[in-house]
Amino acid sequence: MTEFFVFRTALTLLVACLAADFATAESAVIVPIRLLQHFPVLSAKIGGVPVLLQFDSGNSGSVSLTQAVLDTVKAVPNGEFSQGIDGKGNVMKYPKYTIPAIKIGAITFKDVIGELDVHDPSYQATQVGQQGFLGTALLKNYRVVLDYSNRRITLVPSESKESGPCMGTAVPFLPEAHGANPT
């Protein structure tokens, strides 16, 4: 009986340590996704409000949100604009906003500069229920493992020694290419 108690106590402590380590910024964070019309969509919390974001690996911005979400979370316009080119070559201007906090899984990003989700009438985004788009700039300090088959994104801090579940090909994000042709 004593051996069982010692084993159970050791197992409980091990699980508690692993759970505590998982919640720290130094460890990988797994974020569930849904595939809506083959697009990866995750739930983030912005100002405590659940918001569906479509992960857009081709978007080098941080986050773009609908006007309704920006109003609900009381994002503040900062008077600046971004400029980008859509898939049809349309030049777009995006007003920038300061978003106090965005929580994705166990990670909270503070004072995020995001944009209004704007599309040219000739090149509208496919609507799958998303309320905005998550770009790569917000995740620049993480290795991102997009696992379609297991319906999850794993975020591994760049400085972490963890290899994560990825056995695939590393694809670097180039935030400096936002709105410009990479060389």
Give pTM, 2 decimals. 0.73
In tens, the pLDDT along 61-75 reads 999 999 999 999 999
Where are the chain's structural domains? Answer: 29-171
**What superfamily would CATH give domain 29-171?**
Acid Proteases (2.40.70.10)
According to DSSP, the residues that pair with 95 across neighbouring strands are 81
* Residue ranges of E strands in 34-157: 34-36, 39-46, 49-55, 63-65, 76-85, 91-104, 107-116, 132-134, 142-147, 152-157
In tens, the pLDDT along 96-144 reads 999 999 999 999 999 999 999 998 889 898 899 999 999 999 999 999 9
Half-sphere exposure of 8 (CA within 13 A, CB side): 5
